[in-house]
Chain A
């Protein structure tokens, strides 16, 4: 069975400092992994996805994530936080035969000026 654990429910950084949002997954086969961002009262937006190609995945808005199979991790990083990055971030793995998604509980990112 597939599962996702986001290790921090809330991360707070200062503007201009690096961002690290941690995600560990469990999967019985080679998974597809995603990071989505959700701004308040808006739908989900795909940041990036890993689908068994390059292990370092670059996404939109300067975010990237590295798939580490030995650590079963898919942490999301950004070198320099911007105020507009404040949102909730979801790590997601595909699960089941119909491709439905399994979401982590989310990490709320706060960015201080």
Chain B
């Protein structure tokens, strides 16, 4: 079956520290992978998406970066966290279908608090 693993579930990090959030997918190959963030009081915002190994598209300029070292692994990173990086981060995958409407599966999310 197709599953998505995202960890850690919660994280408290000091300002200026590095970040690494990992997401892995099982039961599918060559998925599209996404990182979304939900800041307090705001909707979900697409941060990065990837259509293949080493292929990363950034939707919003920011303090974060993403990498896809393997087909089913997607990593969100930062060299130095800012207070504004606090939020709820969700990883997702999808398989494009003709005409759109491909199913999306989301991880359980990581609650990041930068202090």
Contacts and interface: CB of A to CB of B under 8 A. Distances in A.
A binds B: yes
Interface of A: 6, 30-32, 34, 36, 41-46, 49-52, 90, 94, 98-106
Interface in B28-61: 32, 34, 36, 42-46, 49, 51, 57, 59
Given A103-B43, A103-B45, A104-B43, A43 B99 contact: no
Nearest to A94: B100
Contacts of A41: 88, 109, 111
Contact of A43 (B49, B57, B101, B107): B107
Contacts of B32: 98-100
B90 A44 contact: yes
A90 B96 contact: no
Contacts of A100: 32, 34, 46, 49, 59
Interface residues on chain B, size class = 20 to 34
A51 B102 CA distance: 9
B7 interface: no
B36 to A, nearest CB: 8
Given A41-B109, A43-B109, A98-B96, A51 B43 contact: no
B101 A49 contact: yes
Contacts of A6: 43
Contacts of A50: 101
